[in-house]
């Protein structure tokens, strides 16, 4: 495979998907167009089990959606095109990992740190929704976080729903993510039925924050609790208490006000949730101010 994409030289793989590979890439220029280091998402040369033309159209669509966005909590897509015969997307590089890797790795954190991560994702969602875009796949794998936990960014608009005319339809009506082993579904009930809107993203983010708090919260007063890995901590709740809990973190020693925010965000009835991401952000920011 050709190593040069525009002015950038592909280095190590940093992500592998069904139809594309993401590389860390470097520019040799003194004044690089998009920065010295970027991430480049390259479509596979051979597409397995799917129509190549459809995959290319979806790739173009994803790039065009993402290029509209410019926010500190959303991964920036600078450009896309065909370089050396391969379709590629040039993106901002985030020095860190995705949130799924973060929640599965060892280490527990204080409650305020975890709330701040959730708050930053919600801020990114406000910006996405302000462009009329429904992300539809808010899950840990689609959130990047730097190693110092200060920078948090939403990525991957592969199945996003865009503003449309009456004769157009959502290309991925029922698409959403469910984690097989822990039985966590990030897709809202109405999204599974093929009807999603901005409140569906709010539901997904509520589930994500709830999972994050349950798995990564430091609980110093319970011996051995901080040594539990992801699967031990999550299965303890899902298999013992799931039917009686509204949220996974229901039994944790965290403020009741915060539990109320999560319950509202993840309500099965969209009309009972926060109606906008701005409302969600306001509730989180007010909680942070009052508890700080």
Q: What is the mean pLDDT of residues 44-58?
A: 74
Share of the chain above pLDDT 90, in %: 68
Distance from the Cα of residue 242 to its chain's centroid: 24
Contact predicate 205/220, CB 8 Å = no
Residue 176, pLDDT > 70, answer: no
Q: What is the pLDDT of residue 48?
A: 56
pLDDT above 50: residue 168: no
pLDDT tier, 182 (very low <50, low <70, confident <90, very high otherwise): low
Per-residue pLDDT band for 240 (boundaries 50, 70, 90) equals confident
Q: What percent of the chain has pLDDT over 70?
A: 90
Handedness of CA 12, 14, 16, 17 (dihedral sign): negative
Between these two residues, 77 and 19, which has the higher pLDDT value? 77
| Residue 45 pLDDT exceeds 90 | no
pLDDT digit string, tens, across residues 186-195: 999 999 888 8
- Name the active-site residue from 137, 156, 201, 210: 137
User: 4-92, superfamily in CATH?
Assistant: Phosphorylase Kinase; domain 1 (3.30.200.20)
Q: What average pLDDT does the structure give for the chain?
A: 89
Name residue 22's beta-bridge partners. 15, 41
Sorted by where each begins, the domain ranges of the chain are 4-92, 96-291
pLDDT for 166: 41
The residue assigned the tokens 């109606």 is 275
* Six-digit token string for 98: 């995705």
pLDDT tier at 167, thresholds 50, 70, 90: very low
Q: For residue 218, what pLDDT is reported?
A: 97
Where does the pLDDT of residue 246 fall: very low under 50, low under 70, confident under 90, or very high at 90 and above?
Answer: confident
pLDDT tens, position by position, 197-220 = 999 999 999 999 999 999 999 998
Q: Find out whether 144 and 98 touch, Cβ atoms under 8 Å.
A: yes
Assigned fold of 96-291: Transferase(Phosphotransferase); domain 1 (1.10.510)
> Is 268 annotated in the active site?
no
């Amino acid at each position: 495979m050709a190593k040069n994409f525009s002015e950038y030289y592909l280095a190590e793989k940093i992500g592998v998907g069904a139809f594309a590979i993401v590389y860390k890439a470097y520019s040799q220029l003194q004044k690089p167009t998009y920065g010295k280091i970027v991430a480049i998402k390259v479509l596979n040369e051979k597409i397995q089990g799917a129509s190549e033309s459809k995959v290319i159209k979806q790739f173009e669509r994803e790039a065009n959606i993402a290029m509209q966005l410019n926010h500190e909590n959303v991964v920036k897509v600078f450009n896309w095109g065909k370089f050396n015969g391969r379709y590629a997307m040039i993106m901002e590089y985030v020095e860190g990992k995705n949130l799924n890797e973060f929640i599965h790795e060892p280490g527990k954190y204080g409650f305020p740190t975890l709330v701040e991560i959730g708050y930053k994702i919600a801020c990114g969602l406000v910006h996405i929704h302000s462009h009329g875009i429904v992300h539809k796949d808010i899950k840990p794998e689609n959130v990047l976080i730097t190693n110092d936990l200060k920078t948090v960014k939403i990525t991957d608009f592969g199945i996003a729903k865009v503003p449309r005319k009456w004769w157009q339809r959502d290309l991925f009506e029922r698409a959403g993510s469910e984690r097989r082993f822990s039985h966590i579904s990030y897709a809202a009930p109405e999204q599974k039925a093929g009807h999603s809107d901005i409140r569906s993203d709010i539901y997904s983010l509520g589930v994500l924050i709830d999972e994050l708090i349950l798995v990564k919260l430091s609980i110093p007063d319970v011996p051995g609790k901080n040594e539990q890995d992801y699967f031990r901590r999550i299965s303890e709740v899902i298999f013992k208490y799931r039917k009686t809990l509204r949220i996974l973190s229901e039994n944790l020693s965290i403020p009741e006000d915060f539990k109320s925010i999560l319950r509202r965000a993840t309500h099965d009835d969209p009309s009972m949730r926060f109606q906008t991401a701005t409302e969600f952000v306001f509730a989180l920011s007010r909680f942070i101010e009052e508890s700080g």
